[in-house]
Amino acid sequence: MIFRSEASRGYTLSAPATAYVGFLVAAPLLILIAYSFWTQTYVTLDKTPTLKNYSDALADPLVRHLMLRSIWIAGAVTVVTVALAYPIAYFIAMKARKKTIWLLLITIPFWSSYLLRVFAWKLILGFNGVMNSALMMLGLIDEPLDFLLYNEFAVVLTLAHAWAPFAILPIYVSLQKIDPSLLEAATDLGNSPLQRFMRVTLPLTIPGIIAACLIIFIPTVGDYVTPALVGGSDGKMIANLIQVQFGAANNWPLGATLSLIAMLSVGFVAIVFVITATQLGRRIR
Amino acid sequence: MTDRNIIELRGVEKRYGTFLAASGIDLDLKEGEFFSLLGPSGCGKTTVLRMIAGFQEPTAGTVLIDGQDMEGVPANNRPTNMVFQSYAIFPHLNVGNNVAYGLRGKAPKGEIDQRVAEALDMVELGGLQDRGASELSGGQRQRVALARALIMRPKVLLLDEPLSALDKKLREQMQFEMRNLQQSLGITFVMVTHDQYEAMTMSDRIGVMFNGRLKQVDTPTTLYARPCDQQVASFIGEMNILPAQLLGEIGNMLSIDAAAFGRIEIERNPNVATSSKDMNIGIRPEQLEIAAEKPEDYPSTVQGTVSNAAFYGENIHYHIRVAGAEKPISVSVPNYFHTVDFKRGDAVWLGLQGASVIDLGTDTK
Amino acid sequence: MKRPSTLTAYAFLYLVFLYLPVLFLPLFSFNSGTIVAFPIKGWTLDWYRKLGEQDTLIQALWNSLGVGTVVAILSTAMGLFAARAFVRYRFRGQRAAEGLVMLPLVIPGIIVASSMLVLFLFLGLKPSLLTVVLGHTFLALPFSVSILKSAFDDFDASLEEASYDLGVGVFETFRRVTLPVVSPGIIASMLVTFTVSFDEFVLAFFLSGNQPTLPVYIWSQIRFPAKLPNVLALGSILLLTSVLLLVLAEYFRRRSSASEVR
Show the domains of chain C with their CATH numbers.
66-258 (1.10.3720.10)
Regions of chain A with pLDDT less than 70: 1-4
pLDDT band for position B142 (cuts 50, 70, 90):
very high
The number of domains in chain B is 2
Question: How does pLDDT run across A26-54, given as a tens digit for each residue?
Answer: 998 898 898 899 888 777 777 888 888 89
Question: How does pLDDT run across A105-146, given as a tens digit for each residue?
Answer: 888 887 777 888 888 888 888 877 888 888 888 888 888 887
d(CA A281, CA B219): 49
Judge if the upstream peptide bond of residue C142 is cis by omega within 30 degrees of 0.
Answer: no
pLDDT at B141: 94
Residues B190 and B315 in one domain: no
d(CA A154, CA B160): 54
Residues of chain C in contact with residue A227, where contact means CB-CB under 8 angstroms, are: none
Gyration radius of chain B's alpha carbons: 24
DSSP-assigned letter for residue A23? H
Task: Give the mean model confidence (pLDDT) for residues C246-260.
Answer: 70
Evaluate if residue B159 carries a pLDDT over 80: yes
Residues of chain A in contact with residue C86, where contact means CB-CB under 8 angstroms, are: 10, 14
**Residue A40 lies inside a defined structural domain of this protein:** no
d(CA C147, CA B118): 52
Question: How does pLDDT run across C89-113, given as a tens digit for each residue?
Answer: 888 888 888 889 988 888 888 888 9
d(CA A285, CA A198): 10
**Residue B285 lies inside a defined structural domain of this protein:** yes
Lowest mean pLDDT among A68-72, B209-213, B315-319, C164-168: C164-168
Residues B222 and B96 in one domain: yes
* Amino acid letter, residue B210: F
Check if the beta carbon of residue B230 is closer than 8 Å to that of residue B360.
yes
d(CA C13, CA B333): 72
**Residue B365 lies inside a defined structural domain of this protein:** no
Question: How does pLDDT run across B92-129, given as a tens digit for each residue?
Answer: 999 999 999 999 988 999 999 999 999 999 999 999 99
pLDDT at B339: 66
pLDDT at B165: 85
Residues B122 and B167 in one domain: yes
Evaluate if residue C226 carries a pLDDT over 80: no
Evaluate if residue C262 carries a pLDDT over 60: no
The larger pLDDT score, comparing residue C95 to residue C74, is at C74
The larger pLDDT score, comparing residue B156 to residue C151, is at B156
Q: What separation in angstroms does the CA of B305 have from each of B346, B347, B349?
A: 6, 5, 8
Closest-approach residue (CA) in chain A for B147:
A189
Residues B292 and B309 in one domain: yes
d(CA B157, CA B154): 6
**Residue B215 lies inside a defined structural domain of this protein:** yes
Evaluate if residue B338 carries a pLDDT over 80: no
pLDDT at C231: 83
What is the dihedral angle through the alpha carbons of C79, C81, C87, C89, rounded to the nearest 10 degrees?
-150
Residues B210 and B321 in one domain: no
**Residue A6 lies inside a defined structural domain of this protein:** no
Between chains, do A181 and B91 touch, taking CB under 8 Å as contact?
A: no
pLDDT band for position B312 (cuts 50, 70, 90):
confident
pTM reported for the whole predicted model: 0.83
Alpha helices in chain A (DSSP H): 6-36, 52-59, 61-90, 99-107, 114-125, 130-137, 152-162, 164-176, 180-188, 193-196, 202-204, 206-221, 225-226, 238-246, 252-283
DSSP for B183-214, please give it. HHHT-EEEEEES-HHHHHHH-SEEEEEETTEE
Work out the widest C-alpha separation in chain C, in whole angstroms.
72
pLDDT at C4: 59
Task: Give the mean model confidence (pLDDT) for residues C20-43.
Answer: 80
**Residue A248 lies inside a defined structural domain of this protein:** yes
Closest to C137 measured CA to CA, from C78, C96, C186? C78
Between chains, do B76 and A192 touch, taking CB under 8 Å as contact?
A: yes
Residues of chain B in contact with residue A187, where contact means CB-CB under 8 angstroms, are: 55, 74-76
pLDDT at B327: 87
Evaluate if residue B154 carries a pLDDT over 90: yes
Q: What separation in angstroms does the CA of B10 have from each of B18, B37, B58, B69, C40?
A: 21, 16, 11, 10, 67
pLDDT at C258: 55
Residues B335 and B348 in one domain: yes
Enumerate residues 6+ apart whose C-beta is below 8 A from A37. A49, A50, A51, A53, A253
DSSP-assigned letter for residue A109? G
**Residue A183 lies inside a defined structural domain of this protein:** yes
pLDDT at A12: 85
pLDDT at B337: 61
Task: Give the mean model confidence (pLDDT) for residues B56-67.
Answer: 94
Question: How does pLDDT run across C128-147, given as a tens digit for each residue?
Answer: 999 999 999 999 999 999 88
Residues of chain A in contact with residue C39, where contact means CB-CB under 8 angstroms, are: 133, 137
Closest-approach residue (CA) in chain B for A202:
B92
d(CA B363, CA B274): 8
Lowest mean pLDDT among A70-79, B20-29, C233-242: C233-242
Lowest mean pLDDT among A221-225, C117-121, C156-160: C156-160
One-letter-per-residue 3-state SS of chain C: CCCCCHHHHHHHHHHHHHHHHHHHHHHHHCECCCCCCCCCCCECCHHHHHHCCCHHHHHHHHHHHHHHHHHHHHHHHHHHHHHHHHHHCCCCCHHHHHHHHHHHHCCCHHHHHHHHHHHHHHCCCCCCHHHHHHHHHHHHHHHHHHHHHHHHHCCCHHHHHHHHHCCCCHHHHHHHHHHHHHHHHHHHHHHHHHHHHHHCCHHHHHHCCCCCCHHHHHHHHHCCHHHHHHHHHHHHHHHHHHHHHHHHHHHHHHHHHHCCCC
Residues B69 and B80 in one domain: yes
Task: Give the mean model confidence (pLDDT) for residues B273-279.
Answer: 81
Residues B168 and B297 in one domain: no
The sign of the CA dihedral B124, B129, B130, B132 is: positive
Nearest by CB to B92, from A187, A192, A203: name it. Answer: A203
Q: Which residue segment(s) compose the domain that A211 sits in? A: 53-283
How many Cβ atoms from other residues are within 10 Å of residue B228's Cβ? 22
Q: Are strands B278-283 and B240-250 parallel, antiparallel or unpaired?
A: antiparallel
**Residue A149 lies inside a defined structural domain of this protein:** yes
CATH number at residue A126: 1.10.3720.10
Closest to A261 measured CA to CA, from A70, A79, A26? A70
Q: Which residue segment(s) compose the domain that B238 sits in? A: 231-359
pLDDT at C10: 93
pLDDT band for position B363 (cuts 50, 70, 90):
low
**Residue A209 lies inside a defined structural domain of this protein:** yes
* Amino acid letter, residue A257: T
**Residue A242 lies inside a defined structural domain of this protein:** yes
A143 touching B, CB under 8 A?
A: no
pLDDT band for position C256 (cuts 50, 70, 90):
low
A138 touching C, CB under 8 A?
A: no
Check if the beta carbon of residue C101 is closer than 8 Å to that of residue C182.
no
Residues B269 and B194 in one domain: no
Between chains, do A262 and C138 touch, taking CB under 8 Å as contact?
A: no
Check if the beta carbon of residue B304 is closer than 8 Å to that of residue B348.
yes
Residues B176 and B267 in one domain: no
CATH number at residue B147: 3.40.50.300
Q: What separation in angstroms does the CA of C2 have from each of A98, A143, C7?
A: 17, 43, 13
Last residue of one domain, picked from the residues B207, B230, B253: B230
Residues B63 and B182 in one domain: yes
Between chains, do A126 and C36 touch, taking CB under 8 Å as contact?
A: yes
Write out the H or E segment, with its range, that includes residue B173: helix B168-185
Q: HSE, CB side, 13 Å, CA atoms: give it for residue B51.
A: 29
The number of domains in chain A is 1
The sign of the CA dihedral B288, B294, B295, B297 is: positive
Evaluate if residue C259 carries a pLDDT over 50: no
Residues of chain A in contact with residue C201, where contact means CB-CB under 8 angstroms, are: 113-115, 225
d(CA C64, CA C60): 6
A153 touching C, CB under 8 A?
A: no
**Residue B364 lies inside a defined structural domain of this protein:** no
Residues B136 and B60 in one domain: yes
DSSP for B284-307, please give it. -GGGSEEESSPPSS-SEEEEEEEE
Task: Give the mean model confidence (pLDDT) for residues C207-236.
Answer: 86
DSSP for B237-303, please give it. S--EEEEEEEEEEETTEEEEE-GGG-EEEEE--TTS---SSEEEEEE-GGGSEEESSPPSS-SEEEE
Enumerate residues 6+ apart whose C-beta is below 8 A from A270. A214, A217, A218
Between chains, do C101 and A259 touch, taking CB under 8 Å as contact?
A: no
**Residue A257 lies inside a defined structural domain of this protein:** yes
pLDDT band for position B221 (cuts 50, 70, 90):
very high
d(CA A258, CA C163): 56
Mutation target vs B (from A189, A191, A282, A285; most B CBs, 10 A cutoff): A189
pLDDT at A1: 44
